[in-house]
A and B are shown apart, each in its own frame.
Chain A
Amino acid sequence: MTRKQRRMTIIGGSLAVLALAAALVLNALRDSIVFFSTPTMVAEKHVPPGKRFRLGGLVQPGSLQRGDNLAVTFEVADGGAKLPVAYKGILPDLFREGQGVVAEGALDAAGVFKADTVLAKHDETYMPKDVADALKKQGHWKDDYGAQAADKASGGPKPAATTAQGSSQGAVR
């Protein structure tokens, strides 16, 4: 093998691996990406049932109802619209009415958001950034939410979020 042929083999191999990776990424991008929405956005966009997305907003005060065997229902509101959420499992330590929450799941045929994951941060002043931004954009932001929440990203390169999981199918965060 000449020097040139050897080089071509290596370049060819590299291109093959790169092409493989690009194909894998493009394929994965089609259906493994989860979008973030607020109740208002859900109402506007008519998200089809069964499509997974992340729902963010405030837990409507007075809406939390606990059923049998750890089933809970609550409403997520963003000032403009409300969306009922059903979840089965243990809620994170800092899940409170009136506070921010992010849930992941999909709408069912009745228009109820079936969450299999509920996220909340481990700090009582924390307002999920996604929720805060969405509320700000819609003009429902009150300064007292964010006053202390601003730079609470606590130290250490460790994820400070807890997740409550309803199903064992693996968390999608």
Chain B
Amino acid sequence: MIAEAGHYALVLALALALIQSFVPVIGARLRDPALMNVARSTALAQLLFVGASFIALVTLHVNSDFSVANVYENSHSMKPLIYKITGVWGNHEGSMLLWVSILALFGGLVAAFGNNLPLSLRAHVLAVQAWIASAFYLFILVTSNPFLRIVNPPIEGRDLNPVLQDIGLAVHPPMLYLGYVGFSISFSFAIAALIEGRIDAAWARWVRPWTLVAWIFLTLGIAMGSYWAYYELGWGGWWFWDPVENASLMPWLAGTALLHSALVMEKRNALKVWTILLSILTFSLSLLGTFLVRSGVITSVHAFANDPTRGVFILLILCLFIGGSLSLFAGRATSLKQGGLFAPISREGALVLNNLLLTVACAVVLFGTLYPLAMEMLADFKMSVGAPFYNLTFAPLFALLLLAVPFGPMLAWKRGDLLGVTQRLLAAGVAGLVIVALVWAWTRGGSALAPLAIGLGVFVIAGAVTDIVERTGLARLPFATVVHRARGLPRSAWGTAFAHAGLGVALIGIVCETTWNSEYIATMKPNDVAQVAGYDLKLDGLLERQGPNYREMIAQFNVSRGGEALSVMTPSKRSFTTRGSSTTEAALLTRGASQLYISLGDVTAEGGIAVRIYHKPMVLMIWWGPVLMAFGGMLSLSDRRLRVGAPKPARAKQRLQPAE
């Protein structure tokens, strides 16, 4: 009954989306407010029905109703409740349902809080949202229905892939999808602007908060996924340049560029056409990511044949939306008037450089992701493009970008003074160089690249600090004035500083981890001691334990440093009976920003166990960086001028009117 209700709710949502696709557009043509307002009610009703459908699927999983194929294939009655819930999106059908639910959520939010949008713009935005939604509802209903029943229901389910039975699954996919799908809003706004043939600074002011929300979630989602892979897969890697990861990195790069170009458009009314194009590209990359992940095309081109309908269906959606939006762009972009002149050396110029480097870096990642696919399809040989490729291409481009980052916020709009900014950044530059020298001396030669990269990270952080110091007048004004100025500083300025500093923090973490991580692999017997990076790890013994749906073998390590006992680490190996597979649960010990990491291998015949121990210096900074960036994004989001749905002071309201 619940399955049928969920299925029916999804069909109703499709019907509502179809109404929402056409009626508001016709309303906008006829200038009929009643028809245009249909968009608002259908968007909210759609959210209600998709929500009901999603809750139905969750209920089925929680109740372990194995007469539903999706539950049978991905659940088990003994599975802990949290994994029964998260298992809903730990499979293809469920994750697509989550995708459309989040799409409906964003549509609902625009409908609910978009009261200050011009009526026709809101109607168009919601109609475009409904086009996307209709396509994906159809995709789910036709090719990946999660509510299908099994004729002879089995008694027990096949359990969820053990690797996915982790708290990471509860957080990572929803966050990532909030990011991916959130960019659909800026896409819809861009298409709406093209349809209406009008775009202005107010448009950018509406788009920016939505882009920012999506960007914050995507940043956190990627960081979370990376940390999850780090501790779950058992060998301490945190980024693999895997096509699936690239699929999330590309929208992030394009989205970051969009965030910055929307800024230029909002403040200076320039870069309009480019901002529109970026909005389209960012969401297209999100769609491409969905296609790459969901069609199975990335493992191999031939995997396509395993389920041709799904792959072909998403490919059709992809072509329809990317092709359609780009054609519309080509036809209409010239009608958008260019405004706001600026000199190449100016804040705008710096943001253009930022956009240039980000999009080119994004293009490089796109190339690296699709090149093996293309070669396999055209020339029929297989290859892989991995870290060495990206180290040689992506890294230099990003280093250039980071070098430019501190200059951007300190340049003036319209016409900047590069020399003056360089003088003000002198302290930051010196700090970076001193760090380069110190690190180089401390590591006694070795590669010059690592100290240089760390120096660059320090320069970026110091540059962010310098910006705030300059703006508040610290060091040259009395303290009371400084405090007053700091209070008066727009939150977005603080946001910029935090986000930029986050880049530097992440860079330092990445460089330290990859350059100085130490590894120890050996077979250990009880009472053996391993020495890694100054730590002594003594294997006390092995013990067995029964978990809810697995058996696990735990190894207990006593960690000490210089004779002083620090902690006990208990890595384990779990075997899941239902799937006959096992997972490695690594044990982590955090010391400052560094971590000790133990994962287990197989038990040998003589009673020993294969053990892998890593010392990862400064590894946590890799994820503190993105968290800082997301925090900066939130600060910027809370800036008065971007506050969504908050009552605006009368003066601000005046400014928000579209300049016609």
Cα distance A21–B164 in the bound complex, in angstroms = 37
Stretch among B124-132, B201-209, B355-363, B626-634 lining the A interface: B355-363
> A158 is contacted by which of B228, B303, B342, B386 (Cβ under 8 Å)?
B228
Given A151-B306, A157-B248: A129 and B299 within 8 A (CB)? yes
Given A133-B300, A155-B164: A171 and B240 within 8 A (CB)? yes
Contact between B387 and A171, CB atoms less than 8 A apart = yes
A interface: dominant SS: mixed
Contact between B342 and A6, CB atoms less than 8 A apart = yes
B169 close to A (CB within 8 Å): yes
Cα distance A33–B237 in the bound complex, in angstroms = 20
Contact between A156 and B169, CB atoms less than 8 A apart = yes
Contact between B302 and A129, CB atoms less than 8 A apart = yes
Stretch among B314-322, B536-544, B577-585, B638-646 lining the A interface: B577-585
Contact between B386 and A156, CB atoms less than 8 A apart = no
Contact between A90 and B601, CB atoms less than 8 A apart = yes
Contact between B244 and A158, CB atoms less than 8 A apart = yes
B162 close to A (CB within 8 Å): yes
Cα distance A66–B514 in the bound complex, in angstroms = 30
Contact between B89 and A25, CB atoms less than 8 A apart = no
A150 close to B (CB within 8 Å): yes
Contact between A21 and B95, CB atoms less than 8 A apart = no
Chain A contributes a number of interface residues (CB within 8 A of B) equal to 59
Contact between A163 and B341, CB atoms less than 8 A apart = no
B4 close to A (CB within 8 Å): no
B232 to chain A: closest residue by CB:
A158
B30 close to A (CB within 8 Å): no
Chain B 391-426 interface residues, beta-carbon cutoff 8 Å to A: 391-393, 396-397
Given A29-B389, A69-B523, A170-B514: A9 and B225 within 8 A (CB)? no
Query: Could you say which residues of chain B place their CB within 8 Å of the CB of A162?
Result: 233-235, 584
Chain B, interface residues (CB within 8 Å), range: 35 or more
B522 close to A (CB within 8 Å): yes
Stretch among A10-18, A75-83, A107-115 lining the B interface: A10-18
> A36 is contacted by which of B360, B384, B389 (Cβ under 8 Å)?
B384
Query: Could you say which residues of chain A place their CB within 8 Å of the CB of B225?
Result: 157-158
Contact between A17 and B386, CB atoms less than 8 A apart = no
Measured between C-beta atoms, what is the minimum distance from B417 to chain A in Å? 15
Interface string of A144-168 (1 = CB under 8 A from B): 0000001101111111111111101
Query: Could you say which residues of chain A place their CB within 8 Å of the CB of B245?
Result: 157, 159
A84 close to B (CB within 8 Å): no
Contact between A33 and B89, CB atoms less than 8 A apart = no
Cα distance A1–B346 in the bound complex, in angstroms = 13
Contact between A32 and B234, CB atoms less than 8 A apart = no
Measured between C-beta atoms, what is the minimum distance from B288 to chain A in Å? 13
Cα distance A171–B352 in the bound complex, in angstroms = 35
Chain A 7-43 interface residues, beta-carbon cutoff 8 Å to B: 9-10, 13-14, 17-18, 20-21, 24-25, 27-29, 31-36
Chain B 435-478 interface residues, beta-carbon cutoff 8 Å to A: none
Cα distance A12–B164 in the bound complex, in angstroms = 48
Chain B 572-609 interface residues, beta-carbon cutoff 8 Å to A: 573, 579-584, 601-602, 604
B580 to chain A: closest residue by CB:
A124
Query: Could you say which residues of chain B place their CB within 8 Å of the CB of A58?
Result: none
